[in-house]
Structure 1
Amino acid sequence: MVDRIASLNRVASVPLPADSAIVRAYPLVSFADAYSIALPAEASNDPERLARFIFSQHSPWAAALMKLRDALVAGFGLKTAGSLANDAASRTERVGMFKIYSVAPNEIVMGEDDKHLDFRLSLLCPAAQDERRLILSTVVHCHNLLGRTYIRLIAPFHRIIVRSSLRRAALAGWPKA
C-alpha cells in the first residue's frame, strides 16, 4: 500500500509529448521541460479541472518566491503576478495567473506573452496509455538577452516548483471524475 501511494506521488521528468499542442507553439524554443505524474483511476481526466486544482494549491515557500520574483522584475517593466491577477478580472479566461490559449478534451494550453519572453504550459492527459498520467509541459521562447538571462536564472526554481505543485496536488487528493 505504501509503495502504491509513493508511486502515485512520484513525479518523473519526461520528453515533451509529441501529441501536445505546445510542441508546435514556437519556431524556436529557448527552454522546454515536461513532468509526468500518475493519476489514480478515480481522478478526473479533465485537463482544465486538473489545472485549476493544481494552480490553487500554492505552497507558502513557492508564494514567497513569486513575491520575490515580482519585486525583482517590476523594475524591468515585466508582468508580475499582481498585474496578471488584475488582468484576471478582465474578460481574459485564466487559470490562476495563466491565460488560457486553448482547451481540448485531453489538453489545456495556458501561458503569457511579455516583452522578454513568451511561454506556454500544457496539461495533457494522454489518451493512449496503460497507466493514467498527467503531463505538465513548459516551452519558452525568448525575445532578447533579458529573456535568455531570466530563464537561465529561474529555470532551477521553475523545475522545483513544478515538481512540488504536482506532488502537492497528488497529496491533497485529485478531484474525482
Structure 2
Amino acid sequence: MTLPSQSGIHSLSKDAYFFDSYSTTIPYRNQSALDVYFVLVKETPSWVNRLMALRNQIVSYLGLKNLGHMADIDVHKPSTAYQVGDKVGIFSIYAVSHQEIILEDRDKHLDVRVSFFVEPDGETATVHASTVVQVKNWLGKLYMFFVAPVHKVIVPTSLKKLQYAENQR
C-alpha cells in the first residue's frame, strides 16, 4: 500500500495525516489517466453516491462545503481539453499528464489529493489510485475518523468495477 515512487503524489505524502494506495490491472489502449478516472466515476457504485449525498447533508451543519457528486462531469467536453484548476466531479485538477491525474479538494478542515497513475506494461496497465490527506485542525481529524474506514472500502470496490468495465470494452 505504498504510493508509487514515480507518481507526482508521492512527494505530497510527506507529513501527511493519512495516505493510501490501491492498484488494479486493466487492458491498456493508450487511455489517459483522466480517461481512466472518467470510467471509474461513471462506474461508481450507487451506494457510494448515496453516502456522498449523506455526507453533504451532514457536513452542511458544520459549515463545510457541499462537494456535489462524483459524476458531475461535462460529458461533452473531451478529456484532452481539461486543464489545471478545472472542476472534475467533486475535485479540481491539481496536475494532469497522460500518465497521471492528481485531483484535489481543499476546505478549512483538510486538503485532499487523489492520484490516478497509469503504469503501462504492454497490453495491460496498472492503475494506482492514491490518496493523501493533510488535516488542518481537530475537525479534519474528526472527519477522517469517520471517513478513513469507509474510504478503505470505497476505493478497492471502485477499482474492481473499473477493472470489470475496462475488460468489457
Q: TM-score range by the shorter chain?
A: 0.7 to 0.9
Q: Which amino acid aligns with 1:105?
A: H
1:107 is aligned to 100
Aligned pairs, how many?
159
- CA deviations 1:14-35 (Å, max 9, x no partner) are 3111111112226420000000
Identity %: 32
Q: Which residue of 1 aligns with 2:63?
A: 77
The superposition leaves residues 85-132 of structure 1 with CA deviations (integer Å, 9 ceiling, x where unpaired) of 99x8xx951222210111122111001100000010000012578962
Summarize the Cα distance change of 1:26–1:35 in structure 2 as closer, same or farther, 3 Å threshold. Answer: closer
Report the TM-score when normalising by structure 2. Answer: 0.82
What is the CA–CA distance in structure 1 between the aligned matches of 2:69 and 2:52, rounded to whole Å? 13
Question: Is the Cα contact below 8 Å between 1:44 and 1:174 reproduced in 2?
Answer: no
**What is the aligned counterpart of 1:54 among 19, 24, 40?**
40
Q: Structure 1 95/83 Cα, relative in aligned 2: closer, same or farther at 3 Å?
A: closer
* Structure 1 SS opposite 2:3: coil
- Structure 1 length normalisation: TM-score? 0.79
Q: Distance in 2 between matches of 1:82 and 1:69?
A: 10
Of 103, 107, 129, which residue of structure 2 is paired with 1:136?
A: 129
Which runs of structure 1 show a deviation greater than 4 angstroms over 4 or more consecutive aligned residues? Answer: 83-86, 127-131
- For the aligned residues, what is the CA RMSD? 2.7
Q: Separation in 1 of the partners of 2:10 and 2:162? A: 25
Secondary structure (helix, strand or coil) at the match of 1:80 reads coil
Q: Tell me how far apart the structure 1 counterparts of residues 61 and 16 of structure 2 sit (CA, whole Å).
A: 26
Separation in structure 2 between the aligned mates of residue 118 and residue 141 of structure 1, nearest angstrom: 5
Q: Does 1:18 align with 2:5?
A: yes
Larger radius of gyration: 1
Per the alignment, do residues 84 and 133 of structure 1 end up closer, same or farther by CA in structure 2, a change over 3 Å counting? closer
2:111 is the counterpart of 1:118: yes
Q: Residues 35 and 83 (structure 1 numbering): CA distance in 2 closer, same or farther, change over 3 Å? A: closer
* Cα deviation, residue 172, structure 1: 2.2
- Per the alignment, residue 54 of structure 2 pairs with 68
User: 1:85, 1:167 → 2: CA distance?
Assistant: 18
What secondary structure does 2:61 align onto? helix
Cα distance change of structure 1 residues 18 and 53 upon mapping to structure 2, 3 Å threshold: same
Structure 1 unpaired stretches of 5+: 1-13
Shift of the 39–128 alpha-carbon distance from structure 1 to 2, 3 Å rule, reads: closer
Q: Helix, strand or coil for the counterpart of 2:4?
A: coil
